[in-house]
């Protein structure tokens, strides 16, 4: 499926705006001794199938994985298939999670 014209520019603007907002919010009413430092920089990308979800390359126990940057998430989640692919042991699958739309999985 072709990407609509201007989509890449909107994605870059969204990512830049999100980063700028995060920086502004992190600098609130800090003491004079409090400084902001760059610990790590993420190279974000977007998949045409998930145009509003920033993705980045990460690792689980040294194994490469594509991760989603969800600033509204309260926990890191994996599918059972993703955990198996990464060689991770699944121990608790009974914890429900709900999304912004109100759905529960």
Total domains, the chain: 1
* 3-state DSSP of 20-77: HHHHHHHCCCCCCCCCCCCCCCCCCEEECCEEEEEEEEEEECCEEEEEECCCCCCCCC
**pTM over the 0.85 mark:** no
Question: Within a domain: residue 48?
Answer: yes
Question: Within a domain: residue 51?
Answer: yes
Domain, as residue range, for 69: 43-89
- For the chain, 105 residues long, the average pLDDT of each consecutive 10-residue run is 66 81 68 81 90 89 88 80 87 75 74
Question: Within a domain: residue 47?
Answer: yes
State the pLDDT at residue 46.
93
């Amino acid at each position: 499926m072709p990407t609509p014209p201007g989509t890449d520019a909107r994605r870059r603007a969204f990512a830049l705006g999100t980063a700028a907002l995060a920086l502004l919010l992190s600098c609130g009413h800090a003491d004079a001794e409090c400084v902001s430092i760059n610990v790590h920089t993420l190279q974000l990308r977007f998949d045409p199938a998930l145009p509003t979800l920033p993705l980045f390359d990460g690792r689980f126990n040294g194994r490469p994985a594509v991760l989603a940057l969800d600033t509204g998430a309260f926990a890191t989640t994996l599918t059972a298939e993703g955990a198996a692919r990464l060689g991770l042991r699944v121990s608790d699958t009974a914890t429900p999670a709900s999304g912004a739309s109100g759905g529960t999985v």
